[in-house]
Structure formats: C-alpha cells, structure tokens
Copies of this chain bind each other. A is one copy, B any other.
Amino acid sequence: MDPAAWRARLGAARVATLATLDGQGRPHLVPVCFACLEDDRIVSVVDDKPKRTPALRRLDHVRAHPDVCLLAHHYEEDWSALWWVRVDGTATVRPRADAGMLAALAAKYAPYAAQPPAGPAIVITPTRWRGWSADG
C-alpha cells in the first residue's frame, strides 16, 4: 500500500493510541480521538470526557519529551484482515486548537461538531509513517 493510502486509513480511523514518555522516560499510553490535517499534521484535543487521572499529564510529557508515537489498528477474529498504521513524530502543545483543527475534528466527530473542544491541543508532526496489513 502506498503512503497516501496509509494516511487515508489513519485519517479514517475513529481512535488511535498515543504514546508519550513520562518523567522517568517510560512509555505512557492513552487512547485519543484525533484528526489528520491537510498539511499532514495530526491533532488531538484534551476534551471534556471525564478524567480520573490528572488530565494534563500527557501535556507535561510532550513538553518535556516531544517524541511521540501514534498507532491506529484494526482487529477482528479473522487475522487475515488485521492492519495497523503507525506514525512516529514530534509533538507540540497549543493552549487551544485553531479554527482549522477544530473544523477537522468537528467534521470527524459529532460530539465535537456539537461542542468544539476547548482544551489544549497536541499537534503531531510526523517524521515517519509505517503501515502493515496481514494480507500484504
């Protein structure tokens, strides 16, 4: 599959897992809703879903260690249908998503269209894309 196809597949994925590094350099994971932007960056917003843990931990991680990894994948019991897309990149934190980011998120998720997320945004600039599918 060519890179554009992997990007399209990631863009259509409803959820992905974001890996950051914690204060001790250990990997830390959280599932995220996200949108792919036209300039190839990827945006995720800390939204109003209730957070039990400190909501901004992932933001502190990104500020301290900008290296992140994002993975979207498909699972089903027929393992010949499995696939994943992985992005390595560097991330920055913005106090708010800009208008273009909010539009991309609203176009993808009904709750974001109903109420634009007001929290800080993590913006990933990909440095490497990898994709795999069981059927080649």
- Given A31-B71, A134-B49, A77:B110 Cβ within 8 A: yes
- With a cutoff of 8 Å between Cβ atoms, the chain B residues found around residue A29 in the complex are 17, 19, 29, 69-71, 86
- Interface residues in chain A, defined as those with a beta carbon under 8 Å from any beta carbon in chain B: 14-15, 17, 19-21, 24-31, 49-53, 67-71, 73, 75, 77, 79, 82, 84, 86, 88, 110-111, 130, 132, 134, 136
Q: A19-B19, A53-B130, A79-B111 are in contact. Are A27 and B73 (CB under 8 A)?
A: no
> What's the Cα separation between A88 and B110 when bound, in Å?
32
Question: Hey, which chain B residues are within 8 Å of A77, CB to CB?
Answer: 14, 110
| Given A31-B73, A77-B110, 15 extra CB contacts under 8 A | A14-B77, A19-B27, A19-B29, A19-B69, A20-B27, A21-B25, A27-B67, A28-B88, A29-B29, A31-B84, A49-B82, A49-B134, A51-B132, A53-B132, A79-B111
